[in-house]
């Protein structure tokens, strides 16, 4: 399953195109969460406890809970952690070469 789209030619080859794609990449690669099929407009990922899920909406909005209706917004916390993780990834790539 292609979880996010990347640039083939553009600002930075291999980088996610949108904020939503960046969040999905962070959940999949950074937090090791799996995407589950969802019948609504949100993308569904495994949560930190067995009965909860991360719900990814438009423009990178992140919610956590059993379902999108009864969930809590975690957008600012996840985006802050995502930026820190991306900085760490860039730092590690500079020393790989």
Q: How confident is the model at residue 60, as a pLDDT?
A: 92
- What 3-state DSSP class applies to 64? strand
Domain of 57: which CATH number?
3.30.310
For the stretch 34-83, pLDDT in tens is 999 999 999 999 998 888 999 999 889 999 999 999 999 999 999 999 99
Does the residue 10 lie in any domain? no
pTM equals 0.80
Does the residue 85 lie in any domain? yes
Judged against a pLDDT cut of 50, whether residue 1 lies above it is answered with no
As a whole number of angstroms, the distance between CA 24 and CA 18 comes to 10
Neighbours of 55 (CB within 10 A): 25
Does the residue 55 lie in any domain? yes
């Amino acid at each position: 399953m292609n979880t996010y789209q990347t640039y083939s030619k553009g600002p930075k080859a291999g980088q996610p195109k949108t904020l939503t794609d960046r969040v999905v990449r962070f959940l999949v690669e950074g937090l090791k969460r799996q995407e589950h099929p969802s019948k609504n407009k949100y993308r569904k990922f495994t949560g930190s406890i067995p009965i909860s899920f991360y719900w990814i909406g438009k423009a990178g909005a992140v919610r956590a809970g059993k379902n999108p209706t009864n969930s809590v917004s975690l957008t600012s916390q996840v985006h802050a952690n995502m930026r820190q993780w991306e900085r760490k990834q860039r730092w590690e790539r500079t020393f790989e070469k």
